[in-house]
């Protein structure tokens, strides 16, 4: 709290970007973890809570007739525009938020002060909920071709890899260690996904340290072992997800890509996904278009096209489709890498898994996939998501792009996914909120022994909120492989994520919520005891019915733009207290 220069400011205006006439006046509170705006309206306590860990940028603007403007951009795409009465108050709030939103150590993050009412045993059970070994077992591993290797126990071969890794049965410890020394950051080729139907595998690694002519016998033996682990194919693909020019430039730094002359029976393929800097700039341009107050149709479409965002989403999907076809249709194993193997590689491998395997299109399956291909394999969440103050050039929306790829697939295959859009948005919000420990740190080694809570357990407990009413398990299973189109007209702008807090621009009725209501009522009518309940419910006035139908796009729990807080036992809520009932305030 020593970072807070001002705890309370009266007569602050919260301006509405879309409808200025809907601006509200209230009191602004600053706590150690949240900024809270409480509207001054008799009889109703409307509150807007913002986690400081979600604050992306702050901007003081020139004074206006409404006061001294302070613009807050958040990582979940919420934009708050306050007008503070006095200049010194605005200065104090700005400086306080700068300090509070830029922690320098992991211990300052919200997940370490977030204390729901669970004991240590329950907290440990939250983490035990996720079992990656069960997923590998589901794939049929270990088997005669693949084994669980102890080589990286205690992270002694690669400190950014998980401790448990599957490698070809014929890969000896000297081959593993030798290959790791020839790969950037020691990230040697290892298994990501295995198809027990045809023995084809998706493996991942970082780029080789080949330069212009260097080679490594152990690395060549490792790829030969991967090839031999698939008895149904006499070659394998090596997919470099970078543009070819970028890969060639890396050769000058002693890195690069595999020389087909040195590796037997490989077919090399460049994909061409741009680097983290291009993606960061692209998303920023796209968000600037989203924040236009009253854009014309041409302004919006031209701005979206100019940002290149959907072009990049298409590139990631195209890469996933290439790997999917190689595995499912050709029966060929694939090795995927980019530079270090934790950004584009994670995107492409996980998109391919969603296309290949119906399990990853379920609630539990998507959580397992993110845990496996992103968290355990060392995607640098703290750097990419700007959890701690650091180099802004390390920030990039890599995980955003994966979640959007899944959403684009859901738009093309609405019956093939067990989860709904709200599930993706909730995951996105908590990746950046730092409320849970899953995404803290840059690799598995850094997360060991963190006394935090798990998002996966929370999502599973509340899974009924995230069920897609259109999901048909039989359809998803029989369809199996998804074959999406990546024609330009198949891509959509994800309004539900990027403009989720601009309530005035969303449809007045959500088809998904309407279908869910019909399902619930049908189930009640099929139950003789439920018919009376249904009849009583429909005798209530409209205002007493569920606000879910009135608010089409409710934000993620705990990260609300507008919530009406009802503390249990009629107590004033404490920041971090999970014993809150959240009901969305109708517009």
- Digitized pLDDT (tens) for each residue of the chain, 587 residues in all: 567 888 999 999 999 877 777 789 999 999 999 999 999 887 777 899 999 999 999 999 999 988 999 999 999 999 999 999 999 999 999 999 999 999 999 999 999 999 888 888 888 888 988 999 999 999 999 999 999 999 999 999 999 999 999 999 999 999 999 999 999 999 999 999 999 999 999 999 999 999 989 999 999 999 999 999 999 999 999 999 999 999 999 999 999 999 999 999 999 999 999 999 999 999 999 999 999 888 899 999 999 999 999 999 999 999 999 999 999 999 999 999 999 999 999 999 999 999 999 999 999 999 999 999 999 999 999 999 999 999 999 999 999 999 999 999 999 999 999 999 999 999 999 999 999 999 999 999 988 657 899 999 999 999 999 999 999 887 755 578 999 999 999 999 999 999 999 876 666 567 777 787 787 777 777 776 666 665 666 665 544 444 444 333 334 444 544 433 333 333 333 433 333 333 333 33
Annotated active-site residue in 56, 74, 290, 338: 338
392, two tokens:
């802004």
Q: Quick one: pLDDT at residue 5?
A: 80
Find residue 58's DSSP bridge partners.
72
Q: Quick one: pLDDT at residue 284?
A: 98
Q: Which of 109, 124, 68, 112 is nearest to 92 (CA)?
A: 68
Q: Quick one: pLDDT at residue 417?
A: 95
CB 34 within 8 A of CB 25: no
Cα distance from N-terminal residue to C-terminal residue, the chain: 34
Q: Quick one: pLDDT at residue 568?
A: 34
What are the residue boundaries of the structural domains of the chain, listed by start? 8-102, 124-503, 510-552
State how far the Cα of 10 lies from the Cα of 494, in Å rounded to an integer. Answer: 36
Q: Which of 427, 416, 518, 429 is nearest to 468 (CA)?
A: 416
- DSSP reduced 3-state for 90: helix
- DSSP reduced 3-state for 583: strand
Q: Quick one: pLDDT at residue 533?
A: 65
pTM of the model: 0.88
Fold of the domain built from segment(s) 8-102? PH-domain like (2.30.29)
Task: Note the maximum CA span of the chain.
Answer: 79
Q: Which of 379, 394, 384 is nearest to 185 (CA)?
A: 379
90 catalytically annotated:
no
Helices (H), 434-571: 444-447, 455-461, 473-479, 495-498, 511-526, 528-537
Q: Which of 385, 77, 339, 7 is nearest to 205 (CA)?
A: 339
- DSSP reduced 3-state for 308: coil
Q: Quick one: pLDDT at residue 569?
A: 37
Q: Quick one: pLDDT at residue 534?
A: 56
Q: How far is CA 63 from the centre of its chain?
A: 37
Cα distances (Å, whole numbers) of residue 75 to 38, 272, 400, 524: 22, 27, 11, 40
Q: Quick one: pLDDT at residue 448?
A: 63
State how far the Cα of 229 lies from the Cα of 200, in Å rounded to an integer. Answer: 8
Q: Which of 270, 267, 273 is nearest to 330 (CA)?
A: 267
Q: Quick one: pLDDT at residue 507?
A: 63
State how far the Cα of 369 lies from the Cα of 375, in Å rounded to an integer. Answer: 9
């Amino acid at each position: 709290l020593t970072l807070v220069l001002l705890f309370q400011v009266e007569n602050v205006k919260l301006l509405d970007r879309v409808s200025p006439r809907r601006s509200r006046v209230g009191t602004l509170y600053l706590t150690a973890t949240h900024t809270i705006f409480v509207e001054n309206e008799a009889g109703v306590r409307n509150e807007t809570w913002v986690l400081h860990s979600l604050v992306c940028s702050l901007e003081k603007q020139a004074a206006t007739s409404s006061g001294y403007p302070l613009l807050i951009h958040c990582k979940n795409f919420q934009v708050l525009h306050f007008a503070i009465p006095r200049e010194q108050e605005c200065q104090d709030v700005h400086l306080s938020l700068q300090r509070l939103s830029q922690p320098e150590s992991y211990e300052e993050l919200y997940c370490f002060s977030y204390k729901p009412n669970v004991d240590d045993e329950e907290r440990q059970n939250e983490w035990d909920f996720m079992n990656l070994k069960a997923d590998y077992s589901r794939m049929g591993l270990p088997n005669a071709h693949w084994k669980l290797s102890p080589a990286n126990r205690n992270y002694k071969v690669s400190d950014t890899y998980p401790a448990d890794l599957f490698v070809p049965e014929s890969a000896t410890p000297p081959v593993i260690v030798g290959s790791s020394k020839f790969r950037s950051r020691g990230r040697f080729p290892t298994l990501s996904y295995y198809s027990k139907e045809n023995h084809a595998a998706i493996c991942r690694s970082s780029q080789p340290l080949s330069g212009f002519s260097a080679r490594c016998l152990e690395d060549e033996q490792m790829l030969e072992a991967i090839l031999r682990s698939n008895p149904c194919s006499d070659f394998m693909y090596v997919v470099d997800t970078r543009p070819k020019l970028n890969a060639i430039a890396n050769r000058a730094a002693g890195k690069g890509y595999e020389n087909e002359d040195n590796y037997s029976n490989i077919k090399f393929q460049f994909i061409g996904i741009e680097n983290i800097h291009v993606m960061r700039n692209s998303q920023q341009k796209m968000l600037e278009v989203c924040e236009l107050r009253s854009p014309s149709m041409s302004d919006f479409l031209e701005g979206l096209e100019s940002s290149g965002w959907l072009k990049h989403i298409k590139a990631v999907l195209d890469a996933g489709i290439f790997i999917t076809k190689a595995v499912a249709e050709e029966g060929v194993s694939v090795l995927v890498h980019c530079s270090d193997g934790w950004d584009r590689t994670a995107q492409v491998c996980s998109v391919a898994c969603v296309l290949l395997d119906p399990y990853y299109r379920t609630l539990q399956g998507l959580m397992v996939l993110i845990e496996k291909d992103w968290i355990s394999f060392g995607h640098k969440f703290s750097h990419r998501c700007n959890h701690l103050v650091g180099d802004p050039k390390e920030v990039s929306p890599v995980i955003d792009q994966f979640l959007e790829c899944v959403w684009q697939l859901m738009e093309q295959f609405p019956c093939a996914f067990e989860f709904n859009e709200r599930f993706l948005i909730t995951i996105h919000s908590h990746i950046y909120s730092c409320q849970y420990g899953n995404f803290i740190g840059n690799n598995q080694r850094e997360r060991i022994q963190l006394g935090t809570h798990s998002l996966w357990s929370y999502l599973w407990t509340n899974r009924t909120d995230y069920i897609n009413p259109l999901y048909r398990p039989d359809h998803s299973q029989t369809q199996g492989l998804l074959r999406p189109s990546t024609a330009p007209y198949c891509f959509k702008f994800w309004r539900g994520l990027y403009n989720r807090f601009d309530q005035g621009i969303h449809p007045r009725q959500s088809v998904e919520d309407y279908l869910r209501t019909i399902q619930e009522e049908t189930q009640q009518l099929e139950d003789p005891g439920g018919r009376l309940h249904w009849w009583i419910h429909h005798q209530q006035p409209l205002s007493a019915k569920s606000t879910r139908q009135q608010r089409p796009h409710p934000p993620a729990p705990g990260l609300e733009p507008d919530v009406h807080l009802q503390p249990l036992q009629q107590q004033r809520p404490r920041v971090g207290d999970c014993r809150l009932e959240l009901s969305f305030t109708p517009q």
